[in-house]
Structure 1
Amino acid sequence: MGNSQVIGIDLGGTAIKLGRFTADGTCLQSLTVATPQPATPEAVIAKMVDAIAQIDFERNCIAIGVGTPGPADAQGRIAKIAINLPGWYDVPLADALEAKTGKPTIVGNDANCAGLGEAWLGAGRRFQNLILLTLGTGVGGAIILDGQLFTGPLGAAGELGLITLKPDGPRCNSGNQGSLEQYVSVTAIRRRTGKEPAELGVLAKAGDAQALTFWKEYGRDLGIGLTSLVYVLTPQAVVIGGGVSGSAEFFIPFVKAEIEQRVLPTSRLGLQILPAELGNFAGIAGAAKLAFSKVGA
């Protein structure tokens, strides 16, 4: 299997990213195509098949992994629901791609793929036990235990953004109120400040007092949310990814301070809080890792 290749695909609301990878993590080729609008399952699958043919023109790839914006079933066959994609309910994505490409296919949640990518090639590569939080439009998560992605018996474990932070806080699409996502997502930052995270990062860099205060409060909220997760999972590292992680330098110190204050030393011995390293590349890398696991490479 040393020279085998797979395709990792990251399906998003605006773009579909693909990468062709070798087993040592080298990306030989990548490709981004626009997600068809409306992004019906039929249109997306057709677009994917077309893009796969472009990136695998020599037909060398032995498997396909796909990250989708929502949970997959425990077997990695079905996209159960995809947030922001209309009509995506119980889409048999693996079956459809296998039928059209003849290659074994596995489907996973996009945050889980990002976690796998960071664990394989990014900020998590030195650790066997870590959690990843993606701070984007929503807040996704991934749990890696003993080097393996933990998805639980239903395939839905690791929804770390949906834990309760403040019981009477803003309503969440999940049905929860005051979930972590409602305080630390891009959407929450816009609601709380009227600004974009990148804008607040630029202001903080320039020494703007209001922006610095915002990031301090943001770091506190994130630290309090992570406290629960650290007590339960005692990871060696927490990797912070997603768009908001671009401003990590302004909030990670406050995250650390909160965790040190709230978590018993026995539960956080040697704990590292790290910004993700792979950016938008994490998703396709993790999907490729998933594909290798499917064929036992």
Structure 2
Amino acid sequence: MSNMGNVDIESQVIGIDLGGTAIKLGRFTADGTCLQSLSVATPQPATPSAVVEAILDAISLIDPQGYSKAIGVGTPGAVDVTGRIAVVAINLSNWHNVPLADLLEAKLNLPTLLANDANCAGLGEYWLGAGKQFQNLILITLGTGVGGAIILDGKLFTGHRGAAGELGLITLNPDGHRCNSGNQGSLEQYASAPAIRRRTGLEPSQLGELASSGDEKALTFWQEYGKDLGAGVASLIYILTPEAIAIGGGVCASFEFFLPSMQAEIERRVLPSSRAGLQILRAQLGNKAGMVGAAKLAWSLLP
């Protein structure tokens, strides 16, 4: 990016989405323009020191001049309430209470903040995606697990210990399938990609293709799926009364097939006063959401 045009080099940040297989980085201006982005393979084994080295190398490639003033990082797991320690990170080896913000600040001398990757995705959708005209938003991600994020009055809600927003772990069926969380019959056990495989023997993408071609069984499955999702989301609507719910993750490729039954179930279960004007939207940023939200996180560190 040799020609920076009239971009104000005083105000840029870096957003980082740290995943088990890839690390995605982007350099952003205050209005959300991505000046440059990069994806690098997550080192294997993904020890903290190897990951820090990989991040430093990647930053030197996307910001060789050192224009950035702050860094935000989304990590796959719980983050402490101060946004400085990765308490645990899924698919990264030996990650327990890793002081990632301190490690990066020591090397880069830039203020750094961490958040859970689903929370970053929610911030991204709120800032530049499906939620940008709303101040109260829920993001639900339907993929390997069911995750989510809560934006209340324009701010990410993480609770008093930083662990709020585990939307997929709410109980849908008290006697249902056992969940890794220790819960039984959580929403995740009905709505995640592994749950779909368990229930049908097919991949979500295969069920989407079958539904597209008019296959009755697949269409019926997605109707049932939407009903389950609507029932789970009904609890969240009663508690949070959001203006909008954005649905993201790989399973939302079949959004059109489960949306009608999901909306019907919400209308059946939720009082009109709790869902007035509620919009159910497909998330817009895809796998860039985490990186975008991490950049939004970084902006919160600057005056």
TM above 0.5: yes
Give the equivalent residue in structure 1 for 2:98. 91
Which letter maps to 2:84?
R
Give the equivalent residue in structure 1 for 2:157. 150
Q: Does 1:9 align with 2:16?
A: yes
Which runs of no fewer than 5 residues in structure 1 stay unpaired? none
Separation of aligned partners in 1, 2:178 and 2:20: 23
Deviations 1:151-198 (A, max 9, x none): 111011111011011111111111111111111011111111122111
After superposition, residues 1-297 of structure 1 pair within 5 angstroms as: 3-296=10-303
Separation of aligned partners in 2, 1:191 and 1:248: 20
Which letter maps to 2:214?
G
Using the TM superposition, name which of 148-157 and 193-202 deviates more: 193-202
Which letter maps to 2:109?
G
Secondary structure in 2 aligned to 1:10?
A: strand
Equivalent residue pairs, number = 296
Separation of aligned partners in 2, 1:160 and 1:116: 15
Separation of aligned partners in 2, 1:132 and 1:96: 30
Q: TM-score scaled to structure 1, two decimals?
A: 0.98
Q: TM-score scaled to structure 2, two decimals?
A: 0.96
Separation of aligned partners in 2, 1:176 and 1:85: 24
Secondary structure in 2 aligned to 1:20?
A: strand
Separation of aligned partners in 2, 1:194 and 1:94: 42
Which letter maps to 1:138?
G
Cα drift, residue 130 of structure 1: 0.8
Which letter maps to 2:236?
L
Identity of aligned residues (%): 72
Secondary structure in 1 aligned to 2:115?
A: strand
Separation of aligned partners in 2, 1:32 and 1:94: 20
| RMSD across aligned positions (CA) | 1.1
Cα drift, residue 86 of structure 1: 2.1
